[in-house]
Amino acid sequence: MLREHRPSFLRPDLHLSAYVTTADGSVTVVDLIKLKPVARIPVGPGLSGIRGHPKRPEIWGVSSAGGYVWVLDPRANHFTGEVTARIPVGPLPYALDFSPEGDRVFTTSSGSDTLLAIDAKTTTSWRAAEQGASPFWLASRLTEKPSWS
């Protein structure tokens, strides 16, 4: 009889996963208990900026080539996940960050020189502020107030 070795501190129903972006525009879900891929989720071209939401079980990322922010629900499809939202933000977004409360998501659109704020609960664009040429990275703890349009 072959039995899988499972450390005693792990519950049998425990789900620990890693989400890895790939060059083909997919997110690979890796089961960290078994250390093997369990799903491949098509998301879109030019994936980058993947982050876990600080307060909710969601994975957020950007599609630089597609010009949108995407949201993945890791609990869907028997814990393999599915994309639940694609939020258009303009050309060439590269990174995203969350407000400390997790209610806003910030990203840049390098192709339109803007910083965007997204309402994390409704997954809709909230506000935009014009920035200098081709903003690329950002941090959510801004020291100056942007001029929102």
Where residue 57 sits, what CATH number does that domain have?
2.40.10
Tell me, yes or no, whether 26 lies in a domain: no
Question: Half-sphere exposure of residue 88, counting CA atoms within 13 Å on the CB side?
Answer: 2
pLDDT at res. 34: 85
On whether residue 90 sits in a domain, the answer given is yes
How many Å apart are CA 96 and CA 51, to the nearest integer? 8
Q: Is residue 100 part of a domain?
A: yes
Residue 7 lies in a domain: no
pLDDT at res. 123: 86
In a domain, 63, yes or no: yes
Asked if residue 23 is part of any domain, the answer here is no
Structure confidence at residue 94 (pLDDT): 85
Q: Does a structural domain hold residue 111?
A: yes
In a domain, 5, yes or no: no
Q: Please give the Cα distance from 49 to 21 (Å, whole number).
A: 9
Q: Which range marks the domain in which residue 80 is found?
A: 45-130
Its pTM stands at 0.77
Per-residue pLDDT for the chain (149 aa), expressed as one digit of tens each? 455 555 556 676 777 889 999 999 999 999 888 899 999 999 999 998 899 999 999 999 999 999 999 999 998 887 778 999 999 998 888 889 898 889 999 888 877 778 888 999 998 776 655 555 544 445 455 444 555 54
